[in-house]
Structure 1
Amino acid sequence: MNTRILVAVLACTATLHAPVAQAADGPEKLVACATTQADRATSRSETQTRSQSWLDQRVPYSQQACHRNDFGDYRTDCSGYLSMAWGLTHSRTTSTLHEVATEVPRADLLPGDALVHHNHAALFIRWADAARTEPVVREHTGPDGEPPVERKWTAETANAYTPLRYNNVVEDSALAHSAVG
């Protein structure tokens, strides 16, 4: 695993459990961002638009902050970023994303799917190679203050992650056919 990805994984480790902020009176409280009534049906092209919004806005990474834009109010860490891209009711953690998604074969990844490790999550954008081994992903990693990025992962890095598909994804036929690029 290259050093840059290792730093990303370590930075997102705390999202294994929901981020917490110490209350003045002692007990820890979850950082709460606004919620919606239901997880939305989100098209693959919408996941791209939604995730691009945080890249364009250079939303700073934090496990204890929320960001609100036209797409909602979500925690600004890796799983909050994926929750926003998918249009979930609230910011999930890396350990609860599987509750709204299904594992898929790695070779079947399409734009808007995810690659999730027990302590980091990234949005799949496309394959960088025809062999479908090196994904291009969008991810929100630390350290604090860094904006989300789009980058190519090595096959070795990708193989450490579980491919997931959001249960309420709506297929875009043109987008699904252009998954390599």
Structure 2
Amino acid sequence: MARARWWLNKTNIPYSQSTCYTTSGRRTSCRAGTFRADCSGYVSLAWNVGNLTVGSSQPALTPLGHHQSKSREIAKTSLAAGDALAYYRGPGDNAHIALFVRWQGRRGGPAVVWEQAGGQSGPRQHVWSVSRQRGYRAFRLLSIR
């Protein structure tokens, strides 16, 4: 969460599915150790797992060009800070992932998330209503039990 929090207020970094940045916020070519300025790039940075993409046939973070998942699905009621909410409906823009921060009240109610979404300069905090969460599944980084 510390990595995600630090990146959260980087307002000078516009959304991009093809532009990468270093963890210090310097624009660079996409390679190991850099992160795209899109939703999966933001979660990749938070999880410190390199440039990942949402889905291949399901909403899980997978290394670009590979099919080995870096996450496992969990029950939404088990979400904890640093987990992710994701959906995948097909290639391209029909997928999204956000970092879960906390419930805004009761477990299973509105969720506070950090996300890098199109049209934003830098990641932002949003509250997702229960209806906004429909179609999203919950994921946890494999190295966290």
Q: TM-score, normalised by structure 1?
A: 0.62
Does structure 2 retain, via aligned residues, the 8 Å contact 1:133–1:158? no
Label 1:163 to 1:149 Cα distance change in 2 as closer, same or farther (>3 A). same
Provide the aligned length of Structure 1 versus Structure 2. 121
Q: Check the 8 A contact 2:9/2:123 in 1, yes or no.
A: no
The question of whether the paired residues in 1 share the 8 Å contact of 2:52 and 2:61 is answered with yes
How high is the sequence identity, in percent, across the aligned residues?
33
Shift, 1:70, TM fit: 4.9
- Separation in 1 of the partners of 2:34 and 2:141? 19
User: Which of 48, 54, 59 is the aligned partner of 1:94?
Assistant: 54
CA RMSD, 1 decimal: 1.8
Matches within 5 A, 1:72-91: 72-88=33-49, 90-91=50-51
Aligned position for 1:57: 10
SS in 2 for 1:160: coil
Distance 2:15 2:110 in 1: 25
Out of 60-69 and 76-85, give the one that drifted further. Answer: 60-69
Q: Does 1:104 align with 2:80?
A: no
Q: Which residue of 1 aligns with 2:98?
A: 122
More helix by share: 1
Q: SS at 2:34's partner residue?
A: strand
1:154 correspondence with 2:129:
yes
Which residue number in structure 1 is paired with residue 116 of structure 2?
140
Q: Deviations over 1:61-109 (max 9, x none)?
A: 1111111125942111000110110010x21111151611111111110
> Structure 1 or 2: larger strand share?
2
Residues 159, 69 of structure 1: alpha-carbon distance in 2 compared, 3 angstrom cutoff: same
Inter-CA distance 57–146: structure 2 relative to 1 (3 Å threshold): closer
CA distance in 2, matches of 1:92, 1:131: 28
Length-normalised TM-score, structure 2 = 0.76
In structure 1, the gaps of 5 or more residues are 1-47, 171-181
CA deviation string 1:109-146 (max 9, x = no partner): 00000001110000000000214221100000012x62
